[in-house]
């Protein structure tokens, strides 16, 4: 038996039956299918969905509270600020506590995946750059963001490759496009631009039309 979705309120329930038939030519297997339209607007289905959703929200809320308590100032984690980004919790923290925090989230709170590393050029005089880490728990179905701010003249932060190896290429891209150095990265090379290229195209002070003469183009 399986479900094939029609739209948000209905589905087709498919029931497959296999029976054995004896014919003059021998024995054969015959499969039949029965299709029934199931409405999710009916009370039992609505109750099941609402019950599941309520349990999920309560579980996620409880987990986030545990994380907040873990990284509280009373436990020695000063400078940690909890906010929300697109309805997801975010922790802004000092960059020198990033590696330690990531290890705790992976080991104690089962945040098994680093899904993305986002680099931001705020184009401000102080703390110009930001790194935002999108991490996810497959076990708890919970997403969390980590954010660190970096110095304008020398933006650098510890690599999270020792915690999540998926940081490898994401950090290389941020290094190439934004000029952020990830300390102790095993292979910090540019991904798109040539190694000798001096500039970082996603910085806000990079000209929209590119830098004249920065790249030698082949002659026609």
pLDDT at 69: 93
Phi, psi of 11 (to 5 degrees): -150, 160
Residue 37 lies in a domain: no
Say what the pLDDT of residue 85 is: 62
Residue 44 falls inside a structural domain:
no
Q: What residues contact residue 159 under an 8 Å CB cut-off, 6+ apart?
A: 167, 171, 182, 183, 184, 185, 186, 188
Going from the C-alpha of 17 to that of each of 11, 14, 27, 156, 209, the distances in angstroms are 19, 10, 17, 62, 65
DSSP character at residue 122? -
In tens, the pLDDT along 151-161 reads: 999 999 999 99
Residue 169 has pLDDT above 80, yes or no: yes
Q: Which residues pair with 39 in a beta bridge?
A: 10
- Whether residue 7 is predicted with pLDDT greater than 60 in this model: the reply is no
Percent over 70 (pLDDT), the chain: 71
Averaged over 211-215, what is the pLDDT? 68
**pLDDT at 2 (0 to 100):** 44
Q: What is the mean pLDDT of residues 194-204?
A: 91
Domain count, the chain: 1
Is it the case that residue 64 has pLDDT exceeding 90? no
Q: What is the pLDDT of residue 6?
A: 45
Q: What is the pLDDT of residues 65-88, one digit of tens each?
A: 899 999 999 999 999 999 876 578
Confidence category of residue 211, pLDDT binned at 50, 70, 90: confident
The residue-averaged pLDDT of 189-195 equals 93
* Tokens (6 digits) for 71: 């990284």
**Contact of 169 with 190, CB cutoff 8 Å:** no
Range of weakest confidence among 5-9, 21-25, 109-113 = 5-9
**Confidence (pLDDT) at 12:** 54
Supply the CATH number for residue 108's domain: 3.30.460.80
User: Rounded mean pLDDT of the chain?
Assistant: 83
Residue 80 lies in a domain: yes
Per-residue confidence (pLDDT) for residue 33, from 0 to 100: 67
Residue 141's domain comprises 71-183
* 56 is a domain residue: no
Residue 17 within any structural domain of the chain:
no
DSSP at 8? T
**Cα-based distances in Å from 186 to 75, 83, 126, 169, 191:** 32, 32, 29, 11, 14
pLDDT higher than threshold 70 for residue 99 = yes
Q: Which residues of 152-187 are buried (b: 16+ CB within 10 A; e: fewer)?
A: eeebebbbbbebbebbbebbbbbbbbbbbebeebee
Q: pLDDT (tens digit, 9 = 90+) per residue, 26-55?
A: 777 666 666 665 555 555 666 766 776 666
Residue 174 has pLDDT above 90, yes or no: yes
What is the C-alpha separation between 105 and 69, in angstroms, rounded?
13
Q: Is 151 contained in some domain?
A: yes
> Would 38 be classed as within a structural domain?
no
Confidence of residue 208 (pLDDT cuts 50, 70, 90): confident
**Is the pLDDT score of 58 beyond 80?**
no
Whether 136 is covered by a domain: the verdict is yes
């Amino acid at each position: 038996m399986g479900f094939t979705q029609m739209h948000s309120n209905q589905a087709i329930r498919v029931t497959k039956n296999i029976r054995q038939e004896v014919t003059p030519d021998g024995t054969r297997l015959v499969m039949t299918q029965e299709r029934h339209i199931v409405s999710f607007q009916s009370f039992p289905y609505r109750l099941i969905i609402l019950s599941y959703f309520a349990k999920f929200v309560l579980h996620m809320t409880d987990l986030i509270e545990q994380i907040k308590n873990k990284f509280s100032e009373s436990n020695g984690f000063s400078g940690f600020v909890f906010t929300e980004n697109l309805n997801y919790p975010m922790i802004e923290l000092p960059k020198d506590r990033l590696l330690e925090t990531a290890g705790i989230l992976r080991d104690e709170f089962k945040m098994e995946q680093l899904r993305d590393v986002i680099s931001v050029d705020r184009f401000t005089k102080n703390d110009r750059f930001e790194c935002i880490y999108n991490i996810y728990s497959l076990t708890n179905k919970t997403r969390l963001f980590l954010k660190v701010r970096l110095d304008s003249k020398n933006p650098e932060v510890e690599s999270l490759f020792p915690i999540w190896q998926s940081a490898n290429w994401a950090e290389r891209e941020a290094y190439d496009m934004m000029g952020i150095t990830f300390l102790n990265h095993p292979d910090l090379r540019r991904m798109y631009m040539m190694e000798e290229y001096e500039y970082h195209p996603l910085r806000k002070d990079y000209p929209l039309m590119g830098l004249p003469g920065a790249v030698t183009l082949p002659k026609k």
